Chain A
Amino acid sequence: MRLLLPSWLLVFIHTFILTIPGFCQVETPPAACVANYRIEVKLDTLGKKLQGYETITFVNTSAKPADTLFLHLYPNAFQSDSTIFMKESLLPERFRRGKEYKGSINIKQVEIGSGFDLTGCWIIDETIMKLPLSQPLSPAESVKIKIDFTVNLPQIFMRMGYSGKDYMIGQWFPKMAVLQNDGKWNAHQYHFNSEFFADFGKYDVDITVPANYLIGATGYLTEKRGNQDSTVTFVFQAEDVHDFVWVASPDYLISKRTVDGIEIDFLYKPEHAKAASRILDAAEFALRYYDSSFGKYPYRKFTIADIRIGWGGGAMEYPMLVTCVPSDFPPDIIRLDAMVLFHEIAHQWWYGVVASNEFEEAWLDEGFATYSESKAMEEKFGTKANLVDLWGININDENINKLTYLLDPQSDPPVKNSWEFMDYLSYRANVYSKASLLLQTMGNYMGKEKMDELLKGYFQRYRFKHPRTRDFTRLVLEMTGEDFDPVFEQVLFGTGLCDYEVASIRSEPVKSDSTQGGFQTEVLLKRLGEVVIPVDISMEFASGEKIKQTWDGKERWHRIEMETDSKIKSAIIDPDDKIALEVNINNNSLTTEAEDSAVLKLFTQCFFGLETFVHCITSF
């Protein structure tokens, strides 16, 4: 059943809502509404289906006329085990074969403009639908597309579907691809390693579900009305967003908090009731921290949905809503909840508002979100042990980034089409971790204040836009005056490693028979990796004197020779740990006298561990 309001009433409601104080608290003009959606959808819990009807108003913002429209039909990724998505996936065999894991979207009817029926004219290639237009759509011209569709929901294993009575509905409706300024469509298939890219727009979505269901969704709930068939319709509105997601469950409980005018809703399953306050605490902290670090969160509503529903439920970002799974780990010992939430909430800035192309340059949102998460963890829990504090083992968020990076640092550069990475490990290592370590390194070089200013400037300039890598690198030069381009070239577009070494140190008396004369000191430095970054070198002498130098790192090796009053004691490259990308900090320093105590302590602990191990394996 479709409920259509008269257009004059819609205009009135819209005008009325706009007059509500705080509804449009934006600092700069909102996003260009390229694709606006009016969707009515009904959840069929028995048939595990969505019955939907949408009207898309699409504006050609390119410089050229468009004779075909491209739309994404993401649910078709699950239609068989031979789709690109399923072939690329590393999912267990049961997900490929099981009928319950199959999902698809069926297009029943398409009308263009004022009733021109395109039914049967479309071309569907898995997750992409092409709609040939009878007349090209000129620049700045808009068109209305009405689509009647049905989605067959799979049992969830990847961001969309059901698990028992619970539903996670992401990437579910026919969605416009992005028409670039040059008149070409940026429309890629749904790949296993890839997330999404879309234009900003306005969403008016009516969701009808059984009366006992509670819903969380992108946008503001503007109306909830009961229907005669024991269903209830939730009406959501969202502006300046580029996607719309919703979750539904009859078991959801809700916990609310208001932070600086933003209403935070946490929808959770009863078994996670104890986690509610800590999840809301983490969200409150993250929203405030990112607000002050990057710029104001532009909406008045933020929803967190507990989505422990099957294998595919997990942490994921959507505009104005993130999903998470409250962790079973003791939150004071392993702060997994905070880490995951800080990451997903950072995506509200780096994805939600600064909307990069996740198909082609995923590092711009994943790398930035990972870096932001690290900084938030430091701010909230300190620099040491901010992630794990267990039995004397202190691990911080940056350690995990480094570890992930080192799992596969050389297969792919961060800037690459997501589906062209060798595998998910390489994607994760480079897009998330290497990119984050690069930002960390930049921050260490330019200083915290400058880095914060840079990110604020980036956010302000590109909010509600789609910046590319080159936009960011240009902005770095413009705002900081520092030329990081050579580093960007090597790190973002290359697969080289950063590894500096103090190869040798020695001091010889200037005269062999002299006891009071000076010493000829020599320090040999080597660049073992391909990445060239200027490095600091600190040398300490027996007299306590310290000398600092800088090496541009351009050559493969560099010898420092000098006459000194006393013998050299030690030399260290990058003494302030600026280079987060360094792959082996253990060769960054050299001492003339061995640090036996540390090695002995480490070994005695390991030795006792081995004795205990031997005791255990011989105890049966």
Chain B
Amino acid sequence: MKHILVSFMEGIKNVWATKYLIGIMLIFKLVTSLILGVPLYLMFSTSFAANIKASNFLTGFNPSLVIDFVYYWRRTLSIYVFMFILTSILIIIAYIFLSGGFWGVLRDQAKRRVKDTPTVTSGSGTEGFFAACGKYFGGMFKIGLLMIPLYLFAFLIWLIFIAILGMVVGEGSLWVLTSWRTISKILIALILYFCCNMLGDYLRIFMLEKEDDHIWVVIRKAFRFVWTNLSSTLCLYYLLSIILVGVILFYGGMYKLVSGISPTGIFIFIAFLLQQLFVVFHSFYRLIFYSSQMSLYVRISDRDDHPGEDLDFKMEMRGE
């Protein structure tokens, strides 16, 4: 348990030491969201800027305005939806490119901290980041493709689970969210989703570490690593996830509090600020996910390579 908590703390330290990664991720999200959102803003302005009834939006949702908005812009919206899908695909590819940089930099940082080994990627700072982006793009892309059958497999397992559940206890209403049937279905779906994500993360770690190996060898090694260290990898992932859920709930509460303020310009600004703070946190926390798992991997592999050595003692000796 100790090395899980240590990995988590190291993850935070590593991300904090490479703060520019948070900036890159944040800029990526802002720019891509703006690309997707600008056409909407233009349509909103045309329909609502000089519309007396649009003030209804300040106090709540007005379906009449929205229905007529959709009907009026139906042709533009159909093109927008098509472009939205295309842009989303491009965003995914762009992120796969950037993820090589995130993982590469965080791997170097983890190794520096744990093993005091020199930088693996060429250069440092943003130069190193983009070098890693280019270097690992192919591997990251392959793993991205591999994730599709992995999710489909997880979905199949979930379908089998709900079929068995239905046979044993009968069908329940999907909409009664508090029923134990629905809760178990959601829980199993979440567990499977998290497992897939976690496997994806370790695949990426092994792709970075065993870059000369064939992709199937990487997959085999990554799966074996996760399987042989299942309790550690799962515990760390769920620790990270539970904290994230806690923060999301806290944000929800805060937003509800802000929603109580009368809908003036200041309110809109505060709400926007709160949302962007949450987005910053989300970017930060995703990197902590990467970094913590990387630290765990480095610690376990170091322990396996040098049985009997106390890694924490070594780090203390280095003054970390």
Question: In chain B, what residue has the closest Cβ to A403?
Answer: B67
Alpha-carbon distance A602/B173, docked complex (angstroms): 34
Q: Contacts A392-B61, A598-B54, A604-B268 known; A620 to B47 CB distance under 8 Å?
A: no
Q: Contacts A583-B68, A606-B40, A618-B92 known; A598 to B55 CB distance under 8 Å?
A: yes
User: Is A572 interfacial (CB-CB < 8 Å)?
Assistant: yes
Question: In chain A, what residue has the closest Cβ to B57?
Answer: A598
- Residues of A near B58 (CB, < 8 A) are 597-598, 601
**How does the 8 Å CB contact mask read for B237-248 relative to A, with 1 for contact and 0 for none?**
000000000000
- Residues of B near A592 (CB, < 8 A) are 50
Q: Contacts A604-B272, A611-B30, A618-B92 known; A585 to B53 CB distance under 8 Å?
A: yes
- Residues of B near A606 (CB, < 8 A) are 37, 40, 44
- Flag if A608 contacts B50 (CB, 8 Å): no
User: Is A399 interfacial (CB-CB < 8 Å)?
Assistant: yes
- Flag if B265 contacts A597 (CB, 8 Å): yes
- Residues of B near A116 (CB, < 8 A) are none
Q: Contacts A596-B49, A618-B95 known; A586 to B72 CB distance under 8 Å?
A: yes
User: Is A1 interfacial (CB-CB < 8 Å)?
Assistant: no
**How does the 8 Å CB contact mask read for B54-79 relative to A, with 1 for contact and 0 for none?**
11111011011101111110000000
- Flag if B65 contacts A586 (CB, 8 Å): yes
Partner of A589, one of B53, B174, B271, B275: B53
User: Is A484 interfacial (CB-CB < 8 Å)?
Assistant: no
User: Is A493 interfacial (CB-CB < 8 Å)?
Assistant: no
Those of B273-294 within 8 Å (CB) of chain A? 275, 279, 282, 286
Alpha-carbon distance A393/B286, docked complex (angstroms): 30
User: Is A330 interfacial (CB-CB < 8 Å)?
Assistant: yes
User: Is A328 interfacial (CB-CB < 8 Å)?
Assistant: yes
- Flag if A399 contacts B92 (CB, 8 Å): no
Alpha-carbon distance A370/B310, docked complex (angstroms): 76
Those of A169-198 within 8 Å (CB) of chain B? none
- Flag if B50 contacts A590 (CB, 8 Å): yes
- Flag if B63 contacts A585 (CB, 8 Å): no
- Residues of A near B228 (CB, < 8 A) are none
Those of A358-400 within 8 Å (CB) of chain B? 392-396, 399
User: Is B184 interfacial (CB-CB < 8 Å)?
Assistant: no
Those of A595-614 within 8 Å (CB) of chain B? 595-604, 606-608, 610-611, 613-614
Alpha-carbon distance A592/B50, docked complex (angstroms): 7
- Residues of B near A594 (CB, < 8 A) are 45, 49-50
- Flag if B91 contacts A599 (CB, 8 Å): no
User: Is A591 interfacial (CB-CB < 8 Å)?
Assistant: yes
User: Is A134 interfacial (CB-CB < 8 Å)?
Assistant: no
- Flag if B51 contacts A591 (CB, 8 Å): yes
Those of B71-100 within 8 Å (CB) of chain A? 71-72, 88, 91-92, 95, 99
Partner of B40, one of A328, A406, A603: A603
A contact residues, total (Cβ < 8 Å): 49
How far, in Å, is B83 (CB) from chain A's closest CB? Answer: 13
- Residues of B near A608 (CB, < 8 A) are 272, 275, 279
Q: Contacts A586-B65, A601-B57, A601-B268 known; A610 to B48 CB distance under 8 Å?
A: no
B contact residues, total (Cβ < 8 Å): 60
User: Is A329 interfacial (CB-CB < 8 Å)?
Assistant: yes
User: Is A402 interfacial (CB-CB < 8 Å)?
Assistant: yes
How far, in Å, is A607 (CB) from chain B's closest CB? Answer: 5
Alpha-carbon distance A103/B151, docked complex (angstroms): 44
- Residues of A near B300 (CB, < 8 A) are none
- Flag if A619 contacts B44 (CB, 8 Å): no
- Residues of A near B197 (CB, < 8 A) are 619-620
Question: In chain B, what residue has the closest Cβ to A330?
Answer: B175
Partner of A402, one of B61, B64, B271: B64
- Flag if A599 contacts B61 (CB, 8 Å): no
Alpha-carbon distance A594/B151, docked complex (angstroms): 47
Q: Contacts A403-B67, A603-B37 known; A595 to B72 CB distance under 8 Å?
A: no
User: Is A588 interfacial (CB-CB < 8 Å)?
Assistant: yes
Partner of B175, one of A328, A393, A603: A328
Question: In chain B, what residue has the closest Cβ to A391?
Answer: B61
How far, in Å, is A32 (CB) from chain B's closest CB? Answer: 45
Those of B178-215 within 8 Å (CB) of chain A? 196-197, 200
- Residues of B near A399 (CB, < 8 A) are 63-64, 67
How far, in Å, is A407 (CB) from chain B's closest CB? Answer: 9
- Residues of A near B63 (CB, < 8 A) are 393-396, 399
Question: In chain B, what residue has the closest Cβ to A334?
Answer: B175
Alpha-carbon distance A592/B175, docked complex (angstroms): 46
- Residues of B near A329 (CB, < 8 A) are 175
Q: Contacts A584-B72, A620-B196 known; A595 to B54 CB distance under 8 Å?
A: yes
Question: In chain A, what residue has the closest Cβ to B61?
Answer: A393
- Flag if A617 contacts B91 (CB, 8 Å): yes
User: Is B12 interfacial (CB-CB < 8 Å)?
Assistant: no
Alpha-carbon distance A618/B36, docked complex (angstroms): 15
- Residues of B near A586 (CB, < 8 A) are 47-48, 51, 53-54, 65, 68-69, 72
- Residues of B near A598 (CB, < 8 A) are 48, 54-58
How far, in Å, is A456 (CB) from chain B's closest CB? Answer: 29
Alpha-carbon distance A583/B200, docked complex (angstroms): 49
User: Is A615 interfacial (CB-CB < 8 Å)?
Assistant: yes
Q: Contacts A328-B175, A604-B271, A615-B29 known; A595 to B68 CB distance under 8 Å?
A: no
User: Is A570 interfacial (CB-CB < 8 Å)?
Assistant: yes
Task: Given contact pairs A328-B173, A586-B65, A597-B263, enumerate 11 new A-B contacts (beta carbons under 8 Å).
Answer: A328-B174, A330-B175, A586-B48, A591-B51, A591-B52, A596-B49, A598-B55, A601-B271, A603-B41, A604-B268, A620-B147
